[in-house]
Amino acid sequence: MKMEVVVRVVVVAVGSRGDVQPYTALALGLRDAGHEVAVATHETFRPLVTGTGLEFRPLAADPRAVVESEAGQRWLASSRNPVTFYRRLLPLARKAALAISDDIATAVTGAGLIVYSPLGAAAWHAGQASGTLAIPAPLVPISVTREFASALSPVPSLGGIGNRVSHVLADVAIDLPFRRSVNRWRRDRLGLGPVHGFDLFGRLQREGLPVVNGFSPAIVPRPADWPPNVYVTGAWFLPRDPAWSPPDRLAAFLDDGPPPVFLGFGSMRPADLPAVSAAIAEALDRTGLRGVVAAGWAGLALDDASDVLVVDEVPHDWLFPRMAAVVHHGGSGTTATALRAGVPSMAVPFFADQFFWGTRIAALGAGPPALPVRHLDADRLAARLARLTSDDAMRGRAAGVGARIAAEDGVGTAVRLLADLAARAG
């Protein structure tokens, strides 16, 4: 199989919009390179996928409905306690896992190549059943390394051995609770025997199977101890619709004064939404800064003011470069977009890998240390906003990181790599 031969690719994207959008960008790049491509993701993201002209294949579960449900709110509210957080997550995940797995098995039927997000690992099992190459494509580093702890670790480093152990434990924690049901599903749905062991991604790494990481080496340099089968391509950014233009009220607000700061938490919903909204309003007032506040899935709402504008969905790649600074929840996609914009940024992490990305921003000198949402109040936020908008050295470092990310061709690199991997497998 040569690169010019059309490959039928199914890209499986499980998660929130911050997950799905980069995979849609990758799928678009594959299609533009001449391959036949479909994206399998949740129904709520159908317009995102079909708006690019890509084929859509539905997966069960609505991430927004999960977040907004009573059980989802209890889960998010427990983020300060890792044990409770994990315990409340499992019932939510188990409820959706079987339906999503069945849909993934259907979606990848007939594929010549499967590319999947880690939460869509059922694609690997389905690929095993059909003899199709299935490649994990994480947006967060999941491969074992001595250089930093797992992205799910509460601390950035545990020493060389501790870091390696943390990656294995994170893999086991994700895999172990589902192993019995996964093996039953493999038998009943796919006609396969059981999988042994409890670290799927570690096993793939040890067996030399390819892992294609969709994050920027300018944000996370490739660890020197990763084996040759673990690749880093650069982040995957979706091209903005050339027909898009900002709402009149947003354009007028930006023209009416100095660059504002952006504050928004995407799909995350604070446990005490009124308190967080009040803290944002007070911090902006204290610092005298103008603000663009994204309502997001949480429905952040501030009282009307001449120096604050609340917006719904606005393309981050258009908006962030026009900001004085960006404050966000620390999702992988939002972090990459904020850093590429070349302005100082800061994460307000809720859980999981959001703390990892907040640590990376600070390590790059492109923003202050993360402010976990559980610690967010007007005093702390005002202090960080003041630093974000007054530290010229930080602004210069953020601009340098942004220039390096902008010079990458993450999608193009990934498309060429995937075509080569498919050719080798064929």
User: In the Cβ-directed half-sphere of 29, how many Cα atoms lie within 13 Å?
Assistant: 22
Q: Are 116 and 201 in contact (CB under 8 A)?
A: no
Outline where 132-221 has alpha helix (H).
Answer: 159-175, 179-185, 200-206
Name the band, by pLDDT with cuts 50, 70 and 90, for residue 408. Answer: very high
pLDDT the model gives residue 302:
80
What are 2's two structure tokens?
A: 């040569």
Q: Are 249 and 344 in contact (CB under 8 A)?
A: no
Rounded to the nearest integer, the mean pLDDT of the chain is 89
pLDDT the model gives residue 272:
82
Q: Are 187 and 212 in contact (CB under 8 A)?
A: no
Any idea how long the chain is? Answer: 426
What is the C-alpha separation between 82 and 92, in angstroms, rounded?
A: 16
pLDDT the model gives residue 173:
78
For tokens 């900002």, the residue is: 246
The H or E element that residue 212 is part of is strand 211-213
Name the band, by pLDDT with cuts 50, 70 and 90, for residue 178. Answer: confident
Domains along the sequence of the chain with CATH: 8-235+408-425 (3.40.50.2000), 248-406 (3.40.50.2000)
3-class DSSP state of 112: coil
Name the band, by pLDDT with cuts 50, 70 and 90, for residue 85. Answer: low
Q: What's the whole-model pTM score?
A: 0.90
Which pLDDT tens digit goes with each residue over 5-45? 556 999 999 988 888 999 999 999 999 999 999 999 999 99
Q: Are 296 and 63 in contact (CB under 8 A)?
A: no
**DSSP one-letter string for 287-330:** HT--EEEE-TTTT-----BTTEEEES---HHHHGGGSSEEEE--
What is the C-alpha separation between 126 and 190, in angstroms, rounded?
A: 7
pLDDT the model gives residue 359:
96
Which pLDDT tens digit goes with each residue over 117-170? 998 989 999 999 999 999 999 999 999 999 999 998 888 899 999 999 999 888
pLDDT the model gives residue 3:
41
pLDDT at 414 over 80: yes
96 or 234: which leads in pLDDT: 234
Lowest mean pLDDT among 251-265, 290-304, 341-355, 376-390: 290-304
Q: Are 72 and 47 in contact (CB under 8 A)?
A: no
Q: Are 362 and 370 in contact (CB under 8 A)?
A: yes
DSSP state of 189: I
Q: How buried is 165 (Cβ within 10 angstroms: 0-12 exposed, 13-18 middle, 19+ buried)?
A: middle
Q: Are 254 and 37 in contact (CB under 8 A)?
A: no
HEC readout, 384-411: HHHHHHHCHHHHHHHHHHHHHHHCCCHH
pLDDT the model gives residue 74:
63
